[in-house]
A and B are shown apart, each in its own frame.
Chain A
Amino acid sequence: MRQLLRSLVALVAGLALGSAVAACAGESPLHIWAVLAKGAFGSRNDVGMTLFYSTPLIFTGLSVAMAFHAGLFNIGAEGQLTMGALAAAAVGAVLPGVPAFVAPWLAGGVAFLGGAVWGAVPGWLRARRGSHEVITTMMFNFIAAGISSYVALHPLANPDSQNPETRPIGPGYQLAQWAVFGGAPLGWALPLALLAAGGCWLYLWRTAAGYELRVVGQSEAAAGVAGISPARVRITALTLAGGLAGLVGVVEVLGNSGRFKPGFSPQYGAMGIAVALLGKNHPAGVVAAALLFGALHKGAADLDMETEHVTRDMALILQALVILSVCADGLWGRIGRGRVNPG
């Protein structure tokens, strides 16, 4: 409860700071908020696009949160989602004839696996060789970018396109887009993301394995004495984190473009870190934060046209200010000082 309250207060503080920035730039904050709200929720299509942007953020936010509960900092969601999307696109392109009742499951599973491998390797390196996961996952982002570009340009290049992209996936893989959202590429990927959030919650707080994961995050020493292997838990955690990020492939490849395009992600991986932070690493918080960031991302697109002094980069500034306020946790300690630590 207190966590929720703190996040909300931080959110309001961040948005208020954002208003101040807008005012400094010579733009009425009220106008900005009106444009943002209209851009994000003004029409069915706008709502659909907002949700479409939010869905990958749910996955990457869950990915970062899962690793965080094991005491790991997953900077690599970007590379993991790249590998997930690439794997899904590759299966769809290589086996185009798979019937529609198995194809999405197959591609979804492969997307999870692609990301999982990209998480498991840094997890293994951390557990067995002590390489810090912040470094390795970040490096793996670059490797993933290189591999995926190569695959999109050479073995699976689309001969009918001037752009770097893979051959389109077979028709059986395509997820239907819900008509109610006026053409926005929104479909079953969103319920899948919510399901993943529920699954994460169950895993972390209702299973022995999830408990072990959280114990390692709390205290490696306590885990060791209790007979829990921190090494094994860390590998599992980063594997799951990678898999969750890999499911972004379902959103993009199966639900939207039908192929892998290098650079399709506007840094969903990095934004996932912000989403997890704002959501306090709780699956429900992650969903809420992803919706907020999705709305900011969508709404900000209209700032270029509708305002004179600010551009869509305002969304980045707002995100940054919200994150800064969330991270100013020490302030709570100062406000609450005297209530803690008796004796």
Chain B
Amino acid sequence: MTITAPISAPAGGAEGAGPAAVEFQNVSKRFGSVAANDGVSFTVPRGSICGIVGENGAGKSTAMKLLYGMIRPDQGRILVGGVERNWRSPAEAIAAGIGMVHQHFMLAGALDALDNILVGAEPRRRGMLDRGGARRTVEELSQAYGLAVDLDRPVEDLPVGVQQRVEILKLLFRRAEILILDEPSAVLTPIEVTALFQNLARLRAEGKTILLITHKLREIMDFTDRVAVFRAGRVVGEMATSTTSSQELADLMVGRKVSLQMSASPAAPRQESALRVEALAAGGHGGRSGLGEVSFELKQGEILGIAGVEGNGQSELLRAILFPSDRACRTRGRVWVLGREVTDSQPGEIRSLGVAVIPEDRLREGILPERPAAESFVLGRQREDSFGRWGWLDPARVRAAFQAAATQFDIRPPDPDLSAGRFSGGNQQKIVLAREFGREPRLVIAAQPTRGVDVGAIEAIHQRIVRVRDEGAGVLLVSSELDEILALSDRILVMFNGRFVAEFARGRVTEREIGLKMGGA
């Protein structure tokens, strides 16, 4: 995203003064035979923003859990403010000034913002809750750090970006000096992201130390002072951000050269329709906006990207297309797949027309995490003759097919008996792709195809999606990653509040324009 107000790094006046805020010295933590952290060493100066990057399973979260007292190290020393610490619980870490904003917020939706900030640290006066005094403290903090929040509204009514401020205020109220933020931008619009990092810069200026876990290399380059790169349980690189580049970081994370710039060749759309919806509508639930009446058509041989911040009706749109006969998923409108009306068809019939689905919530909808991977590989294809005729399902053939696909799609490890849930996110997604693309789809519905997937696998997944398009399939790509939408889509529809608010052709739009539309401007 284009950042309008670049934050000069490193601006922190307090940086370098006194001992480091956090220092890991040769810290190791094993889980059984797996060394989640294997001699990890890195230093975070006081008053700096330090990026922590690495693929899934590289040991970032283990390191943060160690720092936050959720688990204890087997070896090595963790120094906070120059003093060796060995917390027995997060409570001790919090008391010592460490705070964490989790990727999924820990807020009680029905309570107002003030109560959420106070809960667990309620100030008392003569045994009674001192709400008035607490409100003044929170308001001062909010002023001092520029974290504007309406304290009296239930947090579930607040925008996600504001909820995040509530989380940060919660930490400041507990006098946190060191803030750990886990993927803070994942749920924000580009504009909210800018605001977030302005807030973080302000916190740094006030002497706070920030550890930022993120997948987005751009954020690292734009907003951090230092960066530590994790790979396979070790820190493989630690440097000042000004001395590195996105490319170098990506190569370090993966351990080989990767191509960050995927840009698909232009499409050659055909005349045949892959998917058409007309005045499609669905109700929303759980505070999400539903789906307004939307209409669009996707041709075969084309990638249509649906951009938008999560929760603006994308999930409802997908469900209405996949389960049109279910009234809970579609209230109005009609759906055609490959020219055939499927408005009243069962999901199984629709899938058998040649529809591949990469579901949004991979663990819940895409695989069977607790079962051997081969069973996830055959999901939805269990009645194909190649796996057994007359209703039989031959496990030996399924395993053989899995192994063949594992070679073709580079699934690691290529073990059909390993539980699907024990593969990395990227490899789980490759299992899904191998399964879905293995039956020559004519329509591909891909939702958040690279979510929680590491840099190396993103490249492979994007190439597969472009290839299936070149083979003539229509691809509906729903993603909250703007980079992904821009790199792959031949056409882009922007969704806001359950409706399409803009349409762009490939190369005719900047990130800034889309970003504004995503925010409803």
Inside 8 A of B126's CB, which chain A residues have their CB? none
Q: Which of A205, A215, A221, A229 contacts B395 (CB 8 A)?
A: A205
Count chain B residues whose beta carbon lies closer than 8 angstroms to a beta carbon of A. 43
Q: Which 10 A-B pairs have the closest CB atoms?
A: A226-B380, A227-B348, A339-B32, A227-B351, A342-B34, A342-B31, A343-B57, A208-B382, A225-B365, A221-B365
**Cross-chain contact A218 with B392 (CB below 8 angstroms):** no
In the assembled complex, A330 has its CB within 8 A of some CB on chain B: no
Q: Which residue of A lies closest to B383 (CB)?
A: A208
Please give 11 more A-B residue pairs, beta carbons under 8 A apart, in addition to A206-B392, A227-B380, A342-B34: A205-B395, A208-B393, A212-B382, A215-B368, A219-B365, A226-B379, A226-B380, A339-B33, A342-B32, A342-B36, A343-B61
Q: Which of B347, B348, B359, B379 contacts A215 (CB 8 A)?
A: B379
**Cross-chain contact B364 with A211 (CB below 8 angstroms):** no
Fill in one digit per residue for B38-73: 1 if any A CB lies within 8 Å of its CB, else 0.
000000000000000000111101100000000000
Report 28 cross-chain contacts, Cβ distance below 8 Å, ordered by A residue. A207-B393, A208-B382, A208-B387, A211-B393, A212-B382, A218-B368, A218-B371, A219-B365, A221-B364, A221-B365, A222-B364, A222-B367, A222-B368, A224-B347, A224-B365, A225-B322, A225-B359, A226-B351, A227-B349, A228-B380, A229-B347, A339-B33, A341-B31, A342-B34, A342-B36, A342-B62, A343-B31, A343-B59
Q: How far is the CB of B2 from the nearest CB of chain A, in Å?
A: 34
**Cross-chain contact B365 with A222 (CB below 8 angstroms):** yes
In the assembled complex, B313 has its CB within 8 A of some CB on chain A: no
Chain A contacts to B: CB under 8 angstroms = 205-212, 214-215, 218-219, 221-222, 224-229, 338-343
Inside 8 A of A205's CB, which chain B residues have their CB? 395
CA–CA, A214 to B388, complex, Å? 18
In the assembled complex, B24 has its CB within 8 A of some CB on chain A: no
CA–CA, A339 to B361, complex, Å? 26
Q: Which residue of A lies closest to B318 (CB)?
A: A225
Give chain B interface residues in 305-345, CB to chain A under 8 Å: 322-323
**Cross-chain contact B392 with A208 (CB below 8 angstroms):** yes
In the assembled complex, B375 has its CB within 8 A of some CB on chain A: yes
Q: Which residue of A lies closest to B57 (CB)?
A: A343
Chain B contacts to A: CB under 8 angstroms = 31-34, 36, 56-59, 61-62, 322-323, 346-352, 357, 359, 361, 364-368, 370-371, 375, 378-380, 382-383, 387-388, 391-395
Q: Which residue of B lies closest to A218 (CB)?
A: B368
**Cross-chain contact B31 with A339 (CB below 8 angstroms):** yes
Q: Which residue of A lies closest to B368 (CB)?
A: A218
CA–CA, A224 to B326, complex, Å? 11
A342 in contact with B395 given A224-B323, A227-B350 (CB within 8 Å): no
CA–CA, A176 to B244, complex, Å? 86
Q: Which residue of B lies closest to A223 (CB)?
A: B379
Q: How far is the CB of B36 from the nearest CB of chain A, in Å?
A: 5
**Cross-chain contact B379 with A229 (CB below 8 angstroms):** no
Inside 8 A of B379's CB, which chain A residues have their CB? 215, 222, 226
A225 in contact with B368 given A208-B388, A339-B32, A343-B36 (CB within 8 Å): no
Inside 8 A of A206's CB, which chain B residues have their CB? 392-395
CA–CA, A136 to B40, complex, Å? 57
Of residues B34, B323, B350, B387, which shows the largest number of chain A Cβ atoms within 10 Å of its Cβ?
A: B34
Q: How far is the CB of A49 from the nearest CB of chain B, in Å?
A: 39
Q: Which residue of A lies closest to B62 (CB)?
A: A343
Of residues B31, B364, B379, B392, which shows the largest number of chain A Cβ atoms within 10 Å of its Cβ?
A: B379
A219 in contact with B364 given A208-B392, A229-B346 (CB within 8 Å): yes
Inside 8 A of A222's CB, which chain B residues have their CB? 364-368, 379
CA–CA, A141 to B322, complex, Å? 39
Inside 8 A of B371's CB, which chain A residues have their CB? 214, 218
Q: How far is the CB of A79 from the nearest CB of chain B, in Å?
A: 30
Q: Which of B31, B349, B375 contacts A211 (CB 8 A)?
A: B375
Q: Which residue of A lies closest to B32 (CB)?
A: A339
CA–CA, A342 to B62, complex, Å? 8
Inside 8 A of A211's CB, which chain B residues have their CB? 375, 378, 382, 393
**Cross-chain contact B31 with A338 (CB below 8 angstroms):** yes
CA–CA, A207 to B346, complex, Å? 22
Inside 8 A of B365's CB, which chain A residues have their CB? 219, 221-222, 224-225
